[in-house]
């Protein structure tokens, strides 16, 4: 990973994502860029609709760029090893602009701040971050307000037993694990206890072994009728701390539904862990 994009809305949560991203970038030797997306203010009354002219929009953009420059200084004071941070400011719908900008500039990773659990947070997640989680072609790393970068000694990969269409889908995960000498814990959760042994054998030999070759990997299959409960149970039984949770919300699988169904959006918040969302 050589290019990392960190969108910001100037909130404390997004500022922590910037700090996390700065530390990660230094460890990887990667470039980080900051993007702020703002929506043009429109006033509507019974008699008219007011839309700012280009001069006003340029003024708004200039003000936001000044804020971004201050953030760059804060990040470089926080971690002096961070060099050459680039900042950009565009107008539009945040999800659409972030998705388009990240693809056009060929970023390897997008880092987003995650708000705490609550009504507002659910709606923020539903409007921007969740869309990136499910529709971005680039891996998205969600960072909580209190997360600090400590490397990735243990990565939990929650897997749905669906074969990957793209042979390179696991490359970002494998690259991270090799760089940080991580142990990958591949976890499959099933509600069919009688299939535990068979599933574990298939998990290791058929579905993932070729892609995870030469990785420090262990395979686990547990029974639970609820995905979040199953992940939580597994984490609690480990003697070591999990540093990163990663999933693949592919079309029609349970992970994509976690970000579509508002009642299930707790996955990103339930665990106070960085969440890496990859794509097939």
Neighbours of 34 (CB within 10 A): 22
Give 192: exposed, middle or buried? Use CB within 10 Å, 0-12, 13-18, 19+.
Answer: exposed
Q: Which residues pair with 187 in a beta bridge?
A: 158, 220
Neighbours of 195 (CB within 10 A): 13
Give the pLDDT band of residue 106 (cuts 50, 70, 90). Answer: very high
**Percentage of the chain lying above the pLDDT 90 cut:** 42
pLDDT given at position 203 = 58
pLDDT given at position 119 = 40
Give the pLDDT band of residue 262 (cuts 50, 70, 90). Answer: very low
3-state secondary structure of 232: helix
Higher per-residue pLDDT: 254 or 114: 114
Higher per-residue pLDDT: 101 or 122: 101
Q: Is the pLDDT of residue 164 over 90?
A: no
Cα-based distances in Å from 274 to 62, 178, 194, 246, 277: 33, 18, 33, 8, 10
The full set of domains in the chain, from first to last, is 3-144 (3.40.50.620), 154-242 (3.40.50.620)
Interhelix angle 12-28/54-78, rounded to 10 degrees, is 60
Residues 8-25: pLDDT tens digits?
A: 999 888 999 999 999 999
First to last CA, the chain: 17
Under a CB-based contact definition with an 8 Å cutoff, are residues 5 and 105 in contact? yes
Higher per-residue pLDDT: 141 or 250: 141
- Full-model pTM: 0.86
List strand residue ranges (DSSP E) for 103-228, in order: 109-114, 140-144, 154-158, 183-190, 216-223
CA distance 106 to 62: 25
Residues 58-91: pLDDT tens digits?
A: 888 899 999 999 999 999 999 999 988 999 999 9
């Amino acid at each position: 990973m050589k290019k990392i994009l960190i969108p910001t809305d100037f909130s404390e949560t997004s500022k922590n994502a910037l700090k996390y991203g700065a530390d990660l970038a230094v460890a990887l030797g990667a470039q980080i860029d900051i993007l702020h997306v703002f929506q043009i203010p429109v006033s509507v009354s019974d008699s008219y609709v007011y839309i700012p002219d280009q001069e006003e929009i340029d003024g708004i953009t200039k003000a936001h760029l000044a804020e971004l420059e201050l953030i760059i200084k804060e990040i470089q004071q926080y971690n002096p090893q961070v060099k050459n941070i680039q900042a950009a400011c565009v107008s539009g719908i945040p999800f659409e602009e972030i998705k388009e900008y990240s693809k056009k500039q060929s970023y390897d990773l997008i880092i987003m701040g995650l708000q705490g659990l609550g009504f507002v947070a659910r709606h923020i997640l539903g409007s921007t971050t969740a869309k990136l989680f499910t529709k971005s072609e680039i891996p998205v790393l969600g960072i909580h307000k209190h997360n600090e970068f400590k490397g990735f000694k243990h990565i939990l990969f929650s897997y749905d037993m669906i074969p990957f269409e793209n042979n390179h889908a696991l490359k970002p995960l494998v690259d991270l694990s090799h760089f940080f000498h991580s142990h990958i814990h591949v976890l499959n959760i099933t509600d069919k206890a009688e299939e535990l042994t068979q599933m574990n054998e298939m998990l290791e030999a058929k579905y993932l072994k070729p892609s995870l070759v030469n990785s420090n990997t262990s395979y686990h299959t547990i029974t639970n009728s609820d995905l979040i409960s199953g992940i939580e149970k597994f984490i609690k039984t480990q003697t070591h701390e999990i540093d990163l949770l990663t999933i693949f919300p592919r079309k029609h699988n349970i992970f994509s539904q976690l970000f579509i169904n508002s009642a299930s959006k707790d996955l990103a918040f339930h665990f106070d862990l960085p969440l890496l969302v990859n794509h097939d």
